Structure 1
């Protein structure tokens, strides 16, 4: 009962917080047909500053921390990023009217991380004066990159197998229709190529070559979100950015986050219309998946808490980034890596429903769980 009351109180606080209230405000403005526009160039600057700040925080913390403490949370982050994609592949992809390649892309986006959602969670923990490892934000790329790489690889393997099967079937039909002619080219009919032999020949064709991993990783690293994050981590590690951090990045963090939430709210509403064009199961997935993914991460975080002393605040951060879905770096990476997937499905699922659920439900849920356990 205490957990439920704490959850409801935290949920109301989240509704009143700048993070979620600006997100909902953006959705209301878009629903009312407001012509308010924030230039894309300004949004890019805001995203850079938010992620650079998180990266700087993580880099400075890593510089002053024991790296062995990070091993288990990092390993769990990688595992979660990969596992979330496979869950979508074998759950969402099996539902009616859901295309497999769209389901895989959706899993990749939900396995990747939302920098804005993570920033909202960190802001809440700071407001509540809850201690957490300053390097917790640096777990972002360890979950984000494996998820995107896994999704693109699995999707391309699936598409190649599908193409191979279709080509083999077409070739078999053609060979059967011309069998009387083709058989005359062989002195012994037993030497005529079998279906298995034709399949193996098709499989050896260049278009069925294995998907290359490094270009996908490189594209993810070169994306605007991870570039800003990794730059901040590097500067925090190898430079002394404390003065500019305290006087510029840290004071502006919450104000810039509120503007980004307003933009995301307007974007979320516009994507709802696109989501209606695809299977309704995406709506169900977008509501359930963030909670399930976050609970998985919370459980793994508790293992790290009891074995390595990972803080409860850090457990909340791990759960929230697992519950989040990428809204910055993920979409362009998946557009390039899985061009045949429908953006209305995976971007609509993430932006229109996944992000509001992650911010409005999952952050207070996992914060309340940590309070119920008694660690904060």
Structure 2
């Protein structure tokens, strides 16, 4: 267990993120070309979607119905609760949206560590759990954007009173939530992988699977630079962010255990679902927020995800979720 924790904390992706932060703090002139950041975001969204779709294509639909409903419910409940808690703590709408999407989505690296955890303990689990990593990304992003758009529409209600219509209010929400480029690419890529199956795998594997870890390193270097340049903004919220980053994971981890158990997952599958529920995204959500809510400060939601929740889950979280699952099994 200790070796697994060390291996993950010293992974190139995390170390390059830290390198980006250090470069920003020491005022280095290191920076990535402007167009490269967007290109890397598009690549990562396609890669995540394709892999999940290919995994889903290997299973019959009836095997997936209950776990699928349970997983999607997490993607709806968690961002709603998180957004509400953030607003109660005085965090502004844009940053509350970023945090809600971050905690409603998942960390692929944390999930990889969870796989190693259950395999090391010889605990069997459902192979399609890999696809649920993707299925938890989009709902949280969509729900968070819908909440933000609804509140923005309500705040402009006086201006719209004479031209109110369902289209004028909900049109932008539908467009951003379902057809914004981040969600559209990820869901569309999942469908391509689902339809193509193994045939798609032979085509996309060299670019979107084999090169994925290296592209992730470059993406996180850029995100580290972005976060490091805005770290001062975190001080504005102080202990609020610290409390959220540490307390939210076990709450959502327990929720994942409950939903996993009643969705019919095995003991191992429930542990993995609880880790997914407790984790926080630092790949798909930053890409989506950069495109859809650029006002949200990456230093806040990335700082919480990588600086607090990620190490918590690797050190304390997974053993804790394992014990929680034992209560039910």
- Partner SS, residue 286 of structure 2: coil
**CA contact under 8 A between 1:56 and 1:235: conserved in structure 2?**
yes
Alpha-carbon distance between aligned partners in 2 of 1:17 and 1:36, rounded to the nearest angstrom? 21
The 1:41/1:358 distance shift into structure 2, 3 A limit, reads farther
Retained in 2: the 8 A contact 1:271–1:351? no
From 190, 205, 225, the counterpart of 1:246 = 205
Cα pair distance change 1:106/1:78, threshold 3 Å: farther
**2:319 paired residue number:** 368
Q: Secondary structure at the match of 2:194?
A: helix
Q: Which of 69, 80, 95 is the matching residue for 1:75?
A: 69
RMSD: 3.6
CA distance change for structure 1 residues 154 and 220 in 2, over 3 Å: closer, same or farther? same
State the TM-score, normalizing by the size of structure 2.
Answer: 0.76
Query: Which segments of 5 or more consecutive residues in structure 2 lack a partner in the other structure?
Result: 120-124
Gapped regions of structure 1 (runs ≥ 5): 1-5, 165-203, 336-341
CA distance in 2, matches of 1:234, 1:242: 13
Q: Quick check: 2:227–2:303 contact (8 Å CA) kept in 1?
A: yes
**Residues 20 and 359, structure 1, Cα contact 8 Å, conserved in 2:** no
Question: Structure 1 residues 297 and 28 mapped into 2: Cα distance closer, same or farther (>3 Å)?
Answer: farther
Q: Give 1:111 shift.
A: 2.5
Aligned-partner SS, 1:275: helix
Counterpart residue number, 1:119: 108
For the 8 Å contact 2:149–2:172, the answer to whether it is kept is no
Hey, what does 1:87 align to over in structure 2? Answer: 81
Structure 2 residue 263 is matched with structure 1 residue 266: no
The answer on 1:108 being equivalent to 2:97 is: yes
Q: 1:19 to 1:117 in 2, by over 3 A?
A: farther
**Deviations along 1:290-332, whole A, 9 cap, x unmatched?**
5256425433443256x244824641553255x3373121354
1:19-98 residue pairs with structure 2 within 5 A? 19-88=13-82, 90-95=84-89, 98=90
Measure the CA separation in 1 of the matches of 2:113 and 2:104: 14
1:331-353 Cα deviation digits (max 9, x unpaired): 54345xxxxxx645xx4421333
2:217 & 2:64 partners in 1: Cα distance? Answer: 30
Check 1:261–1:205 CA distance in 2 against 1; reply closer, same or farther (3 A cut).
Answer: closer
Aligned to 2:178: 221
Aligned-partner Cα distance in 1 for 2:142–2:215: 25
